[in-house]
Amino acid sequence: MKSVLMVAEKPSLAASLANILSNGRNSTRKGSNNACSVHEWSGNFRNENVHFKMTSVCGHVMTLDFVGKYNSWDKVDPVELFSCPTEKKEATAKLRMPAYLAQEAKGCDYLVLWLDCDKEGENICFEVMNSVSRIIRNVFSDSVTYRAHFSAITEKDVKHAMANLGHPNENEAKSVDARQELDLRIGCAFTRFQTKFFQGRYGDLDSSLISYGPCQTPTLGFCVKRHDDIQTFKPESFWYLQMYAGNPEVALEWARGRVFKKEIAMMFLNKVKESKEAKVESVSSKELYKGRPQALNTVELMKAASAGLGLGPHTAMQIAEKLYTQGYISYPRTETTQYPANFDLMGVVKILQNSSEFGEEARNIANDFNPPRKGVDCGDHPPITPMKLGNRSDFDNDAWRIYDYICRHFLGTISRDLKYKSTTATLKVGMESFSCTTSVLLDPGFTRVMTWQAFGKNESNPPFVEGEMVAINDVKMIESQTGPPDYLTESELISLMEKHGIGTDASIPVHINNICQRNYVTIASGRKLIPTTLGIVLVHGYQKIDAELVLPTMRSEVEKMLNLIARGSADYKSVLRHAVEIFRLKFLYFVQNISHMDGLFEVSFSPLAESGKAHSRCGKCRRYMKYIQTKPARLHCSHCDETYSLPNGGNVRVYRELKCPLDDFELLAFSSGTKGRSYPLCPYCYNHPPFRDMPRNSGCNMCSHPNCAHSLYTLGISSCVECESGVLVLDCTSAPSSWKLCCNRCDVIINVFKNATKVQVDEGRCDCGAQMVNVTYKSEKTKFKDGSEEKTGCIFCSPDFSHLVEKHRAIVSRPAIVNVRGRGRGGGPGGKSRGTRGRAKQPKDKMAQLAAYFV
């Protein structure tokens, strides 16, 4: 029997598609990469009985990057990034996606691609085909590989797609390749150049990266534009008339609104004052509606979360994704605002009826169902809806508020519109008209459940009868001033991004997060975005040099070019070459004219030489260098005009005035807090590693100096109990009050021998592979049970030491993923070659015992 491999864009979709296509009769097993599942069943394909295997990728399989040597910021001139070679790498190494796909493709004769029906999905089709090209013969042939085109995940649509398979569209895929290459070359070239340029000149920029990107920079541009509007706003005086009449008295508005000349307002005032009475020209009522919402999509959820719940889009989406994986809501990343035709709206209402929070509203709607408004089906996923009932106590507060919002919004979409009666009375005095409008609620409709949108006050009708003359109680001329706009709210920013096609539903939160993390904007109360000096100066700088660099149209212009590729009306290579050349020239012009931007930096920031405070001695001139603690942390020697970067996210202090034997620079002790990692480092070696096997930006715990007292050679104890290639190194920087072993690669920390006066690494080695240590206590303070002052032994094996060893992880750590069984390291190529003198071999089962501590 032949086999058909089918691939969806994500695991959840593979499951839904398999259920539809197999009519619910498929078996499921976990894929070898632990992220994907495989659903299998037998069926008919092209008039043959076949075995179907439906699995998925997790988004893109591959990502684009420069080839290795171009990743060095120091050795590569950024302009080279416009022409240097690039390569595709696995997008997420951990998932081993190409290998997984190849494995599942074994024995398959056909490939059916169920990736999302957009250009990115088309591109992933080819990533999948390339992954299995060695396994499935002729995978690039139309008789082997097929493409399903579906616009909704409904039985009707999916089965129709299966019965009408097409072929992947290479032009669309190519247009994505072009976009990736452009984004990479442009973003990295500008980012590296401006980061190096400004960090080499200023000490208080407070951002470790001065990034540029075709989405993030226009996003920042929107925030700065509003800031500029506020700054340049000139208030203008205006005048208007207000009339008071009726019983009870009401204020009536002037039909002319406002006038900007006082004399003119005065003239009208005098005219009106000539009359004592006004004629009620009309009193008319009409019924008005406030429409119920459309079905919820991602952008609307993010806007509501930001404006209504005070939750940023990043947080909101994290919560929504968790609600989705827990089964409370449907897939939360969608642009679609139209429920599928066969969607069981009442089924969802029934689920919500039992809620103690909005159950009553749900029950009302069950008896008074109103069909939803027509929305837009973008063919991605159905709108965001509740899937099962949750109670307040099932969630933390923010998750509850998001879930509650999604439920209420859903009920709102199938409620009636809000209906109210609006009554306007128009009064005439000579040629001048005045009016007042009052509203009366007739039907709260959807606001019964979306209570925050409730209709304000209920007013009584205007106290006038058509045709009557009424006395004018008073007429006033009122002076006022126009006011500046307020800062952009995050919700408004999301709307602007969506309108200009900056980012996608999935990437909008990322871009907003980026400009916050880079310290270009801060988020004030009410989730208003206030640009920082750095953000403002950057945008103004682009505007001075090349305003296009910050315009939202830049992205859409590039999209237009890319669409030519997608439609097949232009050649991929020539379009790409053309676009890269335009941006290369823009880059060169930017570099030539950077002084215009620098002029703005100069007045806002302090030069490096004036920043920071005297810290440790330079090995070249013996003068004190200055320590600049703001991001990025670094040392600056103003005499040598050299800058040495330092590790971020911790504290760096002078380490007992010790010196590096290689370059005479004073050693520093880095520490990320009392419970964090710590290690000594030489500022020169940290930036210019002296040995080939010492990576850049590492401390003495990575240094293979043969006899320096602080090197990995001298202080290494054993290979790490957790990570693949790390070595546990004795850290003496806080001695004698604290001694610890810190992994030089990961977050593992083992506190040892508290208050010992001396801990030395011994020449001898334990059977377990760990280096022996020699430990000395003051006689009156000894912790050894037999009262002796000094002992030599193994930290992991010696019974004398076991009560003096305390294991934990650094506070700033990634989640502990401990897999004791799977750790088959056996002193692989990592350990020895890094100059650990063969010392850092894996201690046998003792290390497994130790590792068990971390579970």
Residue linked to tokens 């002076």: 479
**Is residue 195 a contact point for DNA (CB under 7 A)?**
yes
Task: For residue 271, give both structure tokens.
Answer: 């005219």
Which residue of 40, 155, 170, 183 would you call a contact of DNA, by CB under 7 A?
183
Smallest separation (angstroms) from DNA to the CB of 211: 3
350: contact with DNA by CB under 7 A: no
Give the strand pairing for 790-793 and 771-776: antiparallel
Q: Which is nearer to DNA, 73 or 233 (CB)?
A: 73
Q: Does 187 bind DNA (CB under 7 A)?
A: yes
**666 vs 421, 472, 532, 654, 716, CA distance in Å?**
80, 87, 36, 7, 22
Q: Which positions ≥6 away from 110 have C-beta within 8 Å?
A: 2, 3, 4, 5, 45, 46, 50, 136, 144, 145, 146
Q: Are 744 and 723 in contact (CB under 8 A)?
A: no
Q: Are 620 and 635 in contact (CB under 8 A)?
A: no
Regarding 42 and contact with DNA (CB under 7 A), the answer is no
Give the contact letters, 297-326, x = binds to DNA (CB under 7 A), - = no. ------------------------x---x-
CB within 8 Å of 322: residues ≥ 6 apart: 399
**Residue 507 Cβ, how far from DNA at the closest point, in Å?**
3
**What is the footprint of DNA within residues 202-221 (CB under 7 A)?**
208-209, 211-217
Residues numbered 627-656 forming contacts with DNA, rule: CB under 7 A: 632, 645
Please give the radius of gyration of the chain, using alpha carbons only, rounded to the nearest integer: 34
Among 88, 160, 196, 279, binds DNA (CB under 7 A): 196
Positions 103 through 142 that interact with DNA (CB under 7 A): 116, 118, 120
Q: Which amino acid is at 283?
A: V
Q: What are the C-alpha distances in Å from 519 to residues 6, 73, 543, 565, 594?
A: 44, 22, 19, 36, 21
- Residues facing 666 on adjacent strands: 659
Shortest Å distance, C-beta 14 to DNA: 9
726 binds DNA (CB under 7 A): no
Tell me how long the chain is: 855
State which residue, 189 or 768, has the beta carbon closest to DNA.
189
C-beta of 80 vs 142, nearer to DNA:
80
Q: Does 201 bind DNA (CB under 7 A)?
A: no
DSSP 111-129: EEEE--SSHHHHHHHHHHH
User: Which one among 7, 39, 52, 60 touches DNA, defined by CB under 7 A?
Assistant: 60
User: Residue 473, CB half-sphere, CA atoms under 13 Å: how many?
Assistant: 11
Degrees (nearest 5) of the Cα angle 572, 576, 577? 115
For the CB of residue 750, give the shortest distance to DNA in the complex, in Å. Answer: 25
**String of contacts with DNA for each residue 447-466, x by CB under 7 A:** --------------------
The least distance separating DNA from the CB of residue 325, rounded to whole angstroms, comes to 7
User: Per-residue x/- marks for DNA, 136-175, CB under 7 A?
Assistant: ----------------------------------------
Residue 331 annotated as catalytic: yes
Closest approach of DNA to the CB of residue 618, in Å = 20
Q: What is the closest distance, in whole angstroms, from the C-beta atom of residue 552 to DNA in the complex?
A: 12
Q: How far is the CB of 808 from DNA (least distance, A)?
A: 25
Nearer to DNA, 514 or 543 (CB): 514
Residue 756 phi, psi (nearest 5): -65, 145
Q: Which residue of 27, 32, 42, 71 would you call a contact of DNA, by CB under 7 A?
A: 71
DSSP 647: -
Task: Rank residues 97 and 730 by Cβ distance to DNA and give the closer one.
Answer: 97
Which amino acid is residue 815, in one-letter code?
Answer: P
7-26 binders of DNA (CB under 7 A): 9-12
Q: Residue 271 or 631: which CB sits closer to DNA?
A: 631
Residue 365 to residue 12: CA distance in whole angstroms = 30
List of residues 6+ apart from 476 with CB closer than 8 A: 241, 242, 244
Q: Which stretch binds DNA (CB under 7 A): 3-11, 366-374, 737-745, 789-797?
A: 3-11
Residue 229 near DNA by CB under 7 A? no
The nearest distance, CB 817 to DNA, in angstroms, is 12
Nearer to DNA, 93 or 603 (CB): 93
The residue from 146, 328, 331, 679 that is catalytic is 331
E strand or H helix at 774: strand 771-776
Instruction: Tell me which residue of 49, 15, 50 sits closest to 31, measured CA to CA.
Output: 15
Of 4, 17, 21, 35, the residue at the interface with DNA (CB under 7 A) is: 35
What Å distances lie between residue 408 and 308, 332, 360, 400, 414, CA to CA?
Answer: 13, 16, 12, 12, 10
Cα–Cα distances in Å, from 701 out to 537, 638, 669, 670, 761? 40, 28, 11, 11, 14
Provide the β-strand partners of residue 614: 626
Sequence-distant (6+) residues with CB within 8 A of 217 are: 538, 539, 542, 549, 550
> Interacting stretch for DNA, rule CB under 7 A, among 190-198, 365-373, 450-458, 711-719?
190-198
554 binds DNA (CB under 7 A): no
Distance CA 328, CA 402 (A): 11
Looking at residues 502 to 521 of the shown chain, list those that interact with DNA (rule: CB under 7 A).
Answer: 503-504, 506-507, 510-511, 514
Out of 28, 37, 40, 65, the residue judged to bind DNA by CB under 7 A: 65
Task: Identify which range of 357-365, 500-508, 544-552, 766-774 contacts DNA by CB under 7 A.
Answer: 500-508
Tell me the catalytic residues.
331
Interacting residue ranges for DNA, rule: CB under 7 A: 9-12, 35, 58-60, 63-66, 71, 73-74, 91-92, 95, 97, 116, 118, 120, 179-180, 183-184, 187-188, 191-192, 195-196, 199, 208-209, 211-217, 321, 325, 333, 503-504, 506-507, 510-511, 514, 632, 645
